[in-house]
Structure 1
């Protein structure tokens, strides 16, 4: 309560109505798979376009090298083609994938710097680095403090940029002599050894001919069309411009200084290259990077490991991500991986898994063998594989449907709403199907929760199923399950303000008004059945839902019931012959 201690006018604000509750996003995708480059542990990377994906994760993978594990890039491409807008991607790499580095016997810089590609892959072998001399500060010497021949202290015009431990060069008459800074304060610099020349080092002219400069180097890092420049770095461990501190910002390489700081008063460029600064440029090439082999790829690589925050891999990396609502591991049909993905979605309760069926399983009995492994309301299964154009091999290939389906989910959510079943939608960018199922075959597969993609004359290729992999009839439709995910996440995110508020009738009324306003809007959008909000949902909160024991233990219990819309899966027109007597 505000304090009123002195006379005056006090203006105060207060909340008179329900707090607004914003709907949660349902169209953000999460993908896991093999890629040319990209981090293999930590947080999944956000991509918002195909170009964005290729910039971070590289281009398409070879069929000869990676077979059915190569489909991540195709899936992401068709996700955006079919209407997706945001995706988080986590790269997986075989256990024998290696970092490219500069540690070869012919590299002189190998004993000074350990340079590696940012992440494993043969892509690192194309990284090129150019090192050039540079300087961050220069000044002129005004006075020698003490004996001109023996003193190491010099009063300079400006000591800004001259740090303890920096290598400096005194240049006069085209010649340089190198030294090291012991102290630098109040325009007085103390060097490791006296400068040669005595009083001759002093230059008080307005345009000095003799200057004291710091000695640094600049690195230009190149990979394909990417270029990074890191200016005026040093090997001085205590300086803010030490190479490890500056190069930590690089997206291409990571650098470790293994010189130990024992190079003395030698120009850093010369320490790295073994050449004098007059050489102007020194080139470094990385080698030894490897993409690994399929033989060293296992289900555990996709399932991932939980090594703690920032160190998780595979599916486990998405534990740290609160934005993803649809997930897929394109082309990976190992039951262990798919079951791990489904378990991940079930445990979090805020996301939905889209599963592929092995391409070689096209017969109904074979499809059912794979389908019968799963029973989950948080997953849906699609078949067959889709024929698309491959920009890499310049021919048509078959890709798993999960990437396209996740894009259709996002498209349907954005155009109609999450309550609309993502079915009877055209699959964009597809020229054919791996196999064509007929109505009789779908009569067997559809009731079992296998959603088929079919081609209809004059209607293109369409998604012709909207069922989950659940045996529970209440949750057999994808849109019902995803609508509840949307409602639960929206209410969870929008009611944090309730925590630690006084648990009384006033709070209960505010909570009820907040949720009532939100569900009324959802009903008006067509997501709930009923001719009025009262028929579409109910909200119970207060003494009818809580005992005194609940209140004493800090529990506020609100019971919400909603009537979701169900898709018109079977449209039946009953037609009879009209007679004159009728």
Structure 2
């Protein structure tokens, strides 16, 4: 109750309506697995390794690499799954990269930059992440700006519009030097503030650290560098006109920073120890471009794609509570992203060892169960027969997972190696395609509609043919078939979870409850620590009823009236005095979800022409 201590008019804002519940997004997906490049925790690497949100496959390629096979010949199943996901209608994808080094600390590409100072030092261009995609070419080119020199009374030179640490080239009056002219060390100066002088007092230092003021008629040309990073034939990242002084807004070590570069998707970073006694922007410039030509190319080497994944690496590890540098990895990193509603691990089904495949799939399902508000899309083994897929399915029982069979054949997106050579075909796990269909179904219809009888895009055929007889074996065991129908194309023909509980038989029912629970959870946090009385109970009841009424009107709940579709109770009938004394508010909610018409039956019989009624 507000205090009124002096006479006056007091205007107060109050609310006479219930709070609104906004439905959470259900189409956001998370993938975990091996990629060519991208954010991953490694010794000496950036601290920003959280799963990256992607909204297109082009963005995926820029961050996590392309579709070429790995160094060991394995296929990048996660990259292919991401491509299939966006092709089938997915819009938001988080990727948690897993990398296993061949030897401890290996896999990160780098190139040395010999800095010819009085005490020689070494700078390095380093790949920000391990992987063969870090073996890039870095071309550094010196660029000269226009004359910034003026002369104040008394014949003193002054550089206008540039800051301390700027490298200047002193040029005799006359024609400007050619763009391709070599850098002359003897003409280089570093601009510094005069110690103890006024703010605009300047000193020009040569490479030896001695004062060397320019002549009365000489020009002062700023010297900067342009860095071009050639990643592949289709991608060249250019960072123009970078300064060499440390700490500037456009400084080389600021734009190409390890942890916070100006380009979030920057492939490399520049490592140089500015605390060394002879560290100087002039010497650094000479190390980068030399004095024989204004350009030099460095080739980073040592990056590799690492080893094939183990189930434990896919599971990952929680963030260390006492060490901020040890962040969550693998599936544990995806658990920290609250937006995700669908998860998959395309590499799990491709593991050749059956025990490893079982453990990896088990880790994926356990992840979905622990996080509660997401469902796992599970891949069966490649080339699995009916008996093999049934045996694989028999290992699991979970209402938070769904299994799809068989694998999917596609044309290799990398194309033929030569003209006239047929494009080879690849077999891919179905999870990338199916998660995209989940997302497309949620966007076009709603989470309450079963993600089945939906067309699969981006394939040539399914690995094996599932006919009606085989489907009658698979469907009762909750194995969702992918089938081809002449005249209707390739479709998902199943919508069952891996649960033995008939209450949670269907994927859409499980996902509808995830949607309802997560939405109510997020939107009622305001109620915590409110006075636990009749006013709060009425407010919560109205809030939840309004939300469920919207879901009933959209077709998510069964019943011809709201009373048949749902109920909400929050009063003394749901709470005892002991509950109130211990700070508990208990609200009971019941909903009648719509279930898919899995078996559509028409009964047709004969009747005589004179029959009645």
Equivalences for residues 163-202 of structure 1 within 5 A: 163=164, 166=165, 169=168, 171=170, 173=172, 176=187, 178=189, 181=192, 183=195, 185-189=198-202, 195-196=211-212
Counterpart-to-counterpart distance in 2, 1:179 and 1:429: 58
Is 1:285 matched up with 2:292?
no
By how many angstroms is 1:341 displaced? 0.9
Partner of residue 318 from structure 2, selected from 289, 302, 306: 306
Residues 124 and 50 of structure 1, relative CA distance in 2, 3 Å threshold: same
Partner of residue 461 from structure 1, selected from 490, 506, 512: 490
Counterpart-to-counterpart distance in 1, 2:281 and 2:302: 30
Q: Which residue of 1 aligns with 2:92?
A: 86
SS at match of 2:111: coil
Gaps of 5+ in 1: 149-153, 204-208
Runs (4 or more) in structure 1 with deviation over 6 Å come to 106-110, 191-194, 211-215
Equivalences for residues 396-475 of structure 1 within 5 A: 396-475=425-504
SS at match of 1:62: coil
Counterpart-to-counterpart distance in 2, 1:437 and 1:5: 80
Equivalences for residues 45-444 of structure 1 within 5 A: 45-62=52-69, 65-67=72-74, 69-96=75-102, 98-103=107-112, 111-132=121-142, 138=148, 140=150, 142=152, 161-163=162-164, 166=165, 169=168, 171=170, 173=172, 176=187, 178=189, 181=192, 183=195, 185-189=198-202, 195-196=211-212, 209-210=217-218, 217-224=225-232, 225-229=235-239, 231-236=241-246, 243-248=252-257, 249=261, 250=263, 251-258=266-273, 260-263=275-278, 267-273=282-288, 275-276=290-291, 279-294=293-308, 297-308=309-320, 311-333=327-349, 334-362=357-385, 364-393=386-415, 394-444=423-473
Partner of residue 485 from structure 1, selected from 514, 519, 540: 514
Q: Which residue of 2 aligns with 1:206?
A: none
Task: Output one character per residue of 1:310-353: Cα deviation in whole Å (capped at 9) or x when no partner.
Answer: 72222121022111111111142211111111111100101100
SS at match of 1:539: strand
How many residues are aligned here? 556
Counterpart-to-counterpart distance in 1, 2:394 and 2:115: 57
Q: Which residue of 2 aligns with 1:570?
A: 599
By how many angstroms is 1:262 displaced? 2.3
What RMSD in Å do the two structures reach over aligned CA positions?
3.2
Residues 210 and 27 of structure 1, relative CA distance in 2, 3 Å threshold: same
- Whether the 8 Å CA contact 2:148–2:159 is kept in 1: the answer is no
Residues 35 and 433 of structure 1, relative CA distance in 2, 3 Å threshold: same
Task: Output one character per residue of 1:241-289: Cα deviation in whole Å (capped at 9) or x when no partner.
Answer: 654333221411022113643226661444424733x832232221222
**Normalized against structure 2, the TM-score is what?**
0.82
SS at match of 2:19: coil
SS at match of 2:110: coil
Counterpart-to-counterpart distance in 2, 1:548 and 1:161: 74
Counterpart-to-counterpart distance in 1, 2:305 and 2:159: 54
Counterpart-to-counterpart distance in 1, 2:444 and 2:188: 71
SS at match of 1:345: helix
Gaps of 5+ in 2: 42-48, 174-185, 350-356, 416-422
By how many angstroms is 1:180 displaced? 6.8
By how many angstroms is 1:497 displaced? 1.9
Counterpart-to-counterpart distance in 1, 2:22 and 2:147: 53
Residues 60 and 107 of structure 1, relative CA distance in 2, 3 Å threshold: farther
Counterpart-to-counterpart distance in 2, 1:400 and 1:264: 53
Q: Which residue of 2 aligns with 1:15?
A: 15
Residues 502 and 280 of structure 1, relative CA distance in 2, 3 Å threshold: same
Task: Output one character per residue of 1:159-214: Cα deviation in whole Å (capped at 9) or x when no partner.
Answer: x7544xx36658364673646736364222467776457xx85x5xxxxx346777
